[in-house]
Structure 1
Amino acid sequence: MQLSLRNMILSLCEGIPLQNLLLLSAIILILAHYLKRRRIRNLNYPPGPPGLPILGNFLQMDFQKPQVTMQKFVRKYGNILCMHVGSQTFITVTGLPMIKEVLVNQGDVFIERPQIPLHLHIVKRFGDFSEMIGLIMSNGQLWKQQRRFALMTLRNFGLGKKTLEDRIRMEAKYLIEAIREEKGQPFDPHYVINNAVSNIICSVTFGNRFEYHDSQFRELLKSMDDVMKLLVRWECQLFNIFPSVMKFLPGPHQKLFRELKKLESFVEDVIKQHKENLNSEEPQDFIDAYLKELSKDNIHSSFNEKNLVYCTLDLFFAGTETTSTTLRWGLLYMALYPEIQGKIQDEIDKVIGQSRQPTMADKENMPYTNAAIHEVQRMGDIVPFNVPRMAMVDTIVAGYHVPKGTMLSTNLTALHRDPKEWATPETFNPEHFLENGQFKKRESFLPFSIGKRACLGEQLARAELFLFFTSLLQKFTFQPPPNTQLSLDVQCGTTMSPFPYKICAIPREM
């Protein structure tokens, strides 16, 4: 049937001049776009900016400052707005009530991740997969099995226990020594902080840490940085509209695939080494535990070696990037707000002193330091729109029709800068998290998201942020280099990070 229809169309087109065919195609596209827009109005979709045929709102998006562009749309169209890119429809919700509605009240409706063409192409290159694998972008039973196993294994290897806290404290010592080697001179803290934070998740997943001067691991961290930046390039986003064409064209998306291949190859080599030295009775890390699970030979299980590669990569990315970026924002804010840095150091000196390392037990007695860390997360705006979700069925949000398959993003930037929620929303101010001198939790603070797909590593990240940040300010005062103006400009990637900067870490003399 399809073949005969194709032949019929070809025979009808024979003899028609090319310019007439192009004109006809343009008319059909415009008509289809008009009918789609009328259908959207009839079905009571959320409001949003008008778009073009095929491209939709692609050309209206600013991939360098997406959070700025989105706030303009929010002011014009309201707290729920609808946009289109190619065949994909997505909505963005703004404000705490709306975010709680979609992620908590309708959490089971919006529990899935969208099957994005770029991501699907990445996994299909290395196996016959019809949907996403791993921890972050997988769905259904596969996601449930992998998340349950990852949580159980992370807990077995110390998550929430003193053993993992001790690893963080030990790594903090290595980090302090590495920074001390700079002798107060200007240096870029990017890779040394990346390495320190990554070593915690690496010790759990791979069973070992990596030295800060390890050139191979530094190259791996650079590949990870490149991937995070490349994913939001317009060429990679265009891949989601024209995947069958873009996969053959040169551009940043091809570099993305190459960098991901490097990371995959590294993890595959580590897995190979683990298989050669496996002690199935006493797993030493996440990979060992996963290989032990594979040996159970459950044909209905989602456990396989490719899933092991992607689960490990997901843990590696998630366990490194956001916490490392937050700490780099933290040092930058300390250098720019020396009076706040001084208050934190006064609290450190009073509660901990200089003779011992910080512990998680100190956190309860250090409300100002805890508030400052939360304020770094709020102002840093690390993941402005959360990880996307997708509607599993047709639903209603704020009176608007949201069809099955619609992509959902939650506007955390607006939430964390809402003047109704924060006294000085555009200013770094730890007092936002203090009340009568005590730390105050804020319902409108959601850097780890909420609901069933909230951040898997929230507990680990909170421990790392407190122990690394407090340890660094215990030993150093961070200052701008002489005659240098530090900037809070944002570098857009999958996370919002500061542009590379140099800073001076002045050893504190008590």
Structure 2
Amino acid sequence: MAPLLLGLLVLLGIWVLLRARAPGPRWPPGPRPLPLVGNLHLLWAARQEHALMELAERYGPMFTVHLGGQKTVVLAGYEAVREALVGTGRQLADRPPIAIFQLIQGGRGVFFSSGEPWKAARQLTVRALHSLGVGRGPVAGKILQELSCLLGRLHQYGGRPFPLALLGWAPSNATFALLFGQRFDYQDPVFVSLLGLIDEVMVLLGTPQLQLFNMYPWLGALLQLHRPVLRKIEEVRAILRALLAARRGSWPGGGPVCSYMDALIQRGQGRDPDGLFAEDDVVACVLDMVMAGTETSSATLQWAALLMGRHPSVQGRVQEELDRVLGPGRPPRPEDQRSLPYTNAVLHEVQRFITLLPHVPRCTAADTRLRGYLLPKGTPVVPLLNSVLLDKTQWETPRQFNPGHFLDAHGRFVKREAFLPFSAGRRVCVGESLARTELFLLFTGLLQSFRLRPPPGLRPEDLDTEPTPAFTMRPPAQALCAVPRLQGR
């Protein structure tokens, strides 16, 4: 008995020594929290990304805020964000458990999953998009088909005002063709329903009610704040399940993969010992790609058109370059980007200027040292992408729309390291190549054919460029005129 007791005492002593030597968490500075609300009183009055940038001016590029009772580390500016996203590798590759997305996806899918489910879903998605020809000829052909349909629809307006949101139909349908293996007529009830539901969900996700639910899930559940968005998500899921069932019925299991759904079906029918591609996982992956793929490309093309209406001299210079390089009849090709430096600079500046998705949180997958601080496993970390795209140490005129940010003194396109609208590191946007191709082909084709102008009675400076908060920073709903060009196709 005595030797056993002595051994236990020795083990206890070793454990105490190790605990004493183990470094505890070391948090960055930040504002003092209030009971229950933390620092929410500093973030609620204004757009959150602006409030966080103001706190960065006071506390530096790495600081701590309390979102309710949750300690969260915020990174601001190019140097801090890049060091974290690129330099930490797997340590900052997880997502924190955000309440509403936990309810929607249950830890599945491509974007808000972590660990092995995320790795498997991402690897399959990357391989599938590559095999389907994203960034190359096959997908470019689908996008040009949508461009033709979009131009035909705009011609029907005869230069009269059209709703800006109409421009989102073409990139959305190009994405649907890739995901589902079929495009839709613009009047198709499934197409109309999907676009309407995506719009409603994205607006709901950006409301203060949903932010409150994410901070205090127990209170949000009591007040039923999450019910409206869950109802809409279920409607989207019902459409996706019907499309998935139809695809299974029409696609031979051993045939060529012609869509993202085909790749998921094939993987689910094959060897899946960990059960990562069961029915619910497949639907979750498609749901993520549908929501993110349509929203980002659609909103960016709308912003690009709106900014051309707001800056007619920039639009005119783009059209001069297009007429000189492509001529009036030839549709654009992905490889034309190298020959269109000013157009390429304008598209990059649109994405920099609008900061479509200011921040999406990460989470430490292990105890992580970052810029002299020790963050425990599970710490939410918010890389402020808007602080990178507006960093005054990286951009000459960060608050102005200035395509010169991406041009050298000789008018050649210049790649900028601080251009991170798609994030960076292991969580870089999986659909970046698709989004770039869609935006380039649709934007250049649109400006080949039309001059974009404000509606009658408005000046260019009257166009509203104050973002409408949703899950992304959308352009406000308004109208433009697309006046056919004599030089256009």
Global fold match (TM > 0.5)? yes
Amino acid at match of 2:147: A
Using the TM superposition, give the Cα deviation of residue 64 of structure 1 relative to its aligned residue in structure 2, in angstroms: 5.8
After TM superposition, list the pairs within 5 Å mapping 1:348-497 onto structure 2.
348-385=322-359, 387-435=360-408, 436-484=410-458, 485-497=462-474
1:123 aligned residue:
105
| Counterpart selection for 2:60 from 52, 56, 78 | 78
Cα distance in 1 between the residues matched to 2:145 and 2:46: 38
Deviation at 1:249, TM superposition (A): 2.1
Question: What value does the CA root-mean-square deviation take over the aligned residues?
Answer: 1.6
Corresponding residue of 2:162: 187
> In structure 2, do the counterparts of structure 1 residues 397 and 463 end up closer, same or farther at CA, with 3 Å as the change threshold?
same
Q: 1:299 deviation in Å?
A: 3.1
What is the identity, as a one-letter code, of the residue corresponding to 1:174?
A: C
| Structure 1 partner of 2:39 | 57
- State how far apart, in whole Å, the 2-side matches of 1:278 and 1:215 are: 23
Write the distance in 1 (CA, Å) between the matches of 2:103 and 2:296: 25
The one of 237, 257, 269 equivalent to 2:242 is 269
Please give the alpha-carbon distance, in whole angstroms, between the structure 1 residues aligned to 2:108 and 2:274.
15
* Equivalent residue for 1:324, pick from 298, 308, 319: 298
Are the counterparts in 2 of residues 223 and 259 from structure 1 also a CA contact under 8 Å? yes
Match of 1:238 in 2: 212
Q: Which runs of 4+ in 1 moved over 3 A?
A: none
**How many Å apart are 1:448 and its aligned residue?**
1.0
Name the SS for the 2:163 alignment partner: coil
* Aligned-pair identity (%): 36
Q: Which residue of 1 aligns with 2:112?
A: 137
* Aligned amino acid, residue 142 of structure 1: P
| Number of residues of Structure 1 aligned to a counterpart in Structure 2 | 459
- Does residue 506 in structure 1 map to residue 483 in structure 2? yes
Question: How much does 1:382 deviate?
Answer: 0.5
Residues in 1 aligned to 2:311 and 2:364: alpha-carbon distance in whole angstroms? 43
- Per mean C-alpha deviation after superposition, the further-off stretch among 211-220 and 469-478 is 211-220
The residue aligned with 1:6 is none
Q: 8 Å contact 2:190–2:239 — kept in the other structure?
A: no
- Which residues in structure 2 correspond to 1:28-177 (within 5 Å)? 43-62=25-44, 65-124=47-106, 132-177=107-152
- Tell me if 1:227 matches 2:239: no
SS state at 1:200 partner: helix
Q: Distance in 2 between matches of 1:87 and 1:121?
A: 20
Show structure 2 runs of 5+ residues with no match. Answer: 1-23
Deviation string, structure 1 residues 349-393 (Cα, Å, up to 9, x no partner) = 0001111111112111110000000010011111112x2110112
TM-score where L is the length of structure 1: 0.87
SS in 2 for 1:447: coil
Q: Residues 226 and 50 from structure 1, CA distance in 2 versus in 1: closer, same or farther, beyond 3 angstroms? A: farther
Aligned-pair CA distance for 1:480: 0.5
Q: 1:110/1:332 Cα in 2 relative to 1: closer, same or farther (>3 Å)?
A: same
Report the secondary structure of 1:82's partner residue.
Answer: strand
> In structure 2, do the counterparts of structure 1 residues 64 and 277 end up closer, same or farther at CA, with 3 Å as the change threshold?
farther
Deviation, 1:63, is 7.2
Q: Which residue among 218, 228, 244 is the counterpart of 1:255?
A: 228
Aligned counterparts of 1:244 and 1:78: Cα–Cα separation in 2: 33
Per the TM alignment, residue 440 of structure 1 is displaced from its structure 2 partner at its CA by 0.2
More off after superposition, 303-312 vs 55-64: 55-64
1:111-134 deviations in Å (ceiling 9; x for gaps): 10111122212235xxxxxxx100
**Superposed CA offset, 1:430-470 (max 9, x none):** 11100111000001110111111101111111111110000
Give the Cα separation in 1 of the matches to 2:176 and 2:282.
14
Measured in 2, the distance between the counterparts of 1:101 and 1:144 equals 22
Contact 2:143 2:441 in 1 (8 A): yes
* Residues 125-163 of structure 1 deviation map (CA, whole Å, 9 limit, x = unaligned): xxxxxxx10000111111111111111112222223211
| CA distance in structure 1 between the aligned counterparts of 2:223 and 2:251, rounded to whole angstroms | 42
Query: Cα–Cα, structure 1 residues 181 and 117, in superposed 2: closer, same or farther, change >3 Å?
Result: same
User: AA paired with 2:160?
Assistant: Q
SS of the residue aligned with 1:144?
helix
Q: Which is further off, 405-414 or 225-234?
A: 225-234
Residue 165 of structure 2 is aligned to residue 198 of structure 1 = no
What SS does the corresponding residue of 2:369 show, helix, strand or coil?
strand
Tell me how far 1:341 sits from its aligned partner: 0.4
Q: Residue deviations 1:270-290, cap 9 Å, x none?
A: 112222223112143222222
The Cα shift of 1:301 comes to 3.6
Q: Which residue of 1 aligns with 2:17?
A: none
Task: Quote how far apart the aligned CAs of 1:43 are.
Answer: 4.7
- Give me the whole-angstrom Cα distance separating, in 1, the residues matched to 2:440 and 2:43: 36
